[in-house]
Amino acid sequence: MRYTIRHVTTYTFDRPVFLEPHTVRLTPRRDGAFHPTSNQLSVEPAPAGMSVGLDAWGNTVHRVWFSGLTDTLRIVSDCAGEALRTNPFDYLVETSVHVLPPRYTSGEQAALAACLASDPSSAVEGFASRIVASLGPEPSTPDFLSAVNNTLASEHTSIIRPEGPPFDPETTLETREVSCRDLAVLFIAVCRCRGIASRFVSGYQAGDPGQSDRDLHAWVEAYLPGAGWRSYDPTLGLVVADQHVAVAAAAHWEDAAAVTGSFRGTGACSALENTIELRVE
């Protein structure tokens, strides 16, 4: 599947402001599931400078800084590429994954520490225990992940909530209508309380070919020795193959945000608008 994506992010301010440096994470990730063929980022007003590099999680990030005052910030990302993974189960895991929790080597544990950190509530523990009980004795890690994915999709209705941070896991468990980022944060909490390294992913999802309104999507990656990072989408109940395009992944959702930054202006207010045009061939 070939993707062409145009993503326009526009901030408008009710009076001129000074823009602090901004970090942009909108470059599709090059990995075994996706091969980018083109990518271009443009910013208005013209920045005083721009650098590109990798963050601590291996995401491509643009760092943009400015001079002078402005009442608008417009960031346009144009990218294209090919999704390569048609089979989400195209792997042979280590025997350590055949049990729950998976057994990580000491090197993996050190590298994955932030993605294993867990302080679960009784509600999250109870949900994880319910999933384990439904699978019978000695469930495997992939079976647990699939069951969590399917259960979250079946017990919640997805809505678009344009602004605000994700709900905490406990709120999502109690709420029937939630956003994709809410479900991702809950999925991660459930994984970590059972010793599965997991992280938050932001990006694009193919969706309905006739769909006109698009939004950034969020899902989850879990680390399986022998298979690496594998993606699960609890909003759709899918094990991810070629329907998703990742732009950033990190242990905490804040570090996978598409655009982060701030501005200075006494009493100034801002408004945000996103438009995404996505074509799949």
Which tens digit of pLDDT belongs to each residue from 192-232? 999 999 999 999 999 876 666 789 999 999 999 999 999 99
What's the confidence (pLDDT) of residue 196? Answer: 98
DSSP assigned state of 100: S
What's the confidence (pLDDT) of residue 162? Answer: 82
Nearest residue to 193 (alpha-carbon basis) of 249, 91, 79, 115: 115
Average per-residue pLDDT for the chain? 95
What's the confidence (pLDDT) of residue 273? Answer: 94
Q: Report the 10 Å Cβ neighbour count for 121.
A: 14
Query: How far, rounded to the nearest angstrom, does the alpha carbon of residue 255 sit from its chain's CA centroid?
Result: 10
Are 70 and 45 contacting, i.e. CB atoms less than 8 angstroms apart?
yes
Give bridge partners of residue 221 from the DSSP assignment: 199, 231
The helix-helix angle for 122-134 and 141-155 (nearest 10°) equals 110
- Provide the 3-class DSSP secondary structure of residue 226: coil
What's the confidence (pLDDT) of residue 236? Answer: 96
What's the confidence (pLDDT) of residue 212? Answer: 64
- pLDDT of 41 > 80? The answer is yes
DSSP assigned state of 248: E
Nearest residue to 11 (alpha-carbon basis) of 92, 66, 61, 81: 66
Are 121 and 252 contacting, i.e. CB atoms less than 8 angstroms apart?
no
What is the percent of the chain with per-residue pLDDT over 90, rounded to a whole number? 91
pLDDT tens, residue by residue, 77-108: 999 999 999 999 999 999 988 999 999 999 99
Contacts of 256 (CB under 8 A, 6+ apart): 25, 57, 59, 199, 200, 201, 202, 218, 248, 249, 250
What's the confidence (pLDDT) of residue 209? Answer: 64
Are 206 and 191 contacting, i.e. CB atoms less than 8 angstroms apart?
no
For range 27-45, the mean pLDDT: 96
Q: Does residue 99 or residue 189 have the better pLDDT?
A: 189
Measure Cα distances from 101 to 7, 104, 134, 196 in Å. 39, 9, 16, 6
Give bridge partners of residue 19 from the DSSP assignment: 263
The helix-helix angle for 180-193 and 141-155 (nearest 10°) equals 150
For range 15-35, the mean pLDDT: 96
Domains (ranges, CATH) in the chain? 2-84+258-280 (2.60.40.2250), 95-241 (3.10.620.30)
